[in-house]
Amino acid sequence: MATVAPWGTVWITALGMTVARVVDRSATALLLRRRLHGPRGSDSMVTLMALPWRAAMAFAATLFALVLPVLVGISTAFIAGTAQAGRAGAPVPADPGPLALGMVALLLSAWWGPGGGSVRRGTRISAAAVARGPRSRIAVWAALGLLLLAALLTLGNGASPDFGPLEGSRLVTQLQSYGTRLPTP
């Protein structure tokens, strides 16, 4: 997805990380509440009432936790753009290949980096709840496969990445024309 819409992919990643953090915080709070007081009929109501606060805190934690992964992703895109161009060519980090590698680096550093534990736990709990049986697992894998196929078809048609609301901004213009302004050795 990062090769087609990098801006949207980063926001979808942030939203997914926020949801995983909310699930982790809610499950942990419910577990601690049941361990302390035992199962009660009010457990679901208490969890529901605390949801807005947990969502706000999870969103703030995600924004802070995404600083390092975004920087790692941008640096990887620049490194891949330079390596792709070789010695003779000028690097363009906004090409689909460097953008894809940058997104992979972003995801890996968000998953295994600082603050990744709550994302991993929340994702594990969510995946267990969503994909309980073999049919639901097949449906999830089919949806992911269709998403990958759509991105590959869009790239195969020669479409350039869409930077969303940043399209036409000075930063994106510089990224797209970065290699054309560098003097060649």
* Mean of pLDDT over the chain: 83
Query: 3-state secondary structure string, 70-106?
Result: HHHHHHHHHHHHHHHHCCCCCCCCCCHHHHHHHHHHH
Whether the model clears a pTM of 0.85, i.e. scores above it, the answer is no
Do 68 and 109 form a contact (C-beta atoms < 8 A)?
Answer: yes
| Per-residue pLDDT tens over the stretch 44-74 | 888 889 999 999 999 999 999 999 999 999 8
- The per-residue pLDDT for 176 is 61
Query: What average pLDDT does this structure show over 84-95?
Result: 75
Return d(Cα 182, Cα 47) in angstroms, integer: 56
pLDDT-derived band at 184, boundaries 50, 70, 90: very low
| Per-residue pLDDT tens over the stretch 90-141 | 777 778 888 888 999 999 999 998 889 999 999 999 888 888 888 888 888 8
- The per-residue pLDDT for 185 is 47
For the cut 60, the answer to whether the pLDDT of residue 41 exceeds it is: yes
Both structure tokens of 179:
């290699």
Which amino acid belongs to residue 91? P
Name the residue ranges covered by the structural domains of the chain.
6-181
Report the candidate in 159, 179, 175, 178 with the shortest Cα–Cα distance to residue 167.
175
Which amino acid belongs to residue 11? W
- The per-residue pLDDT for 85 is 77
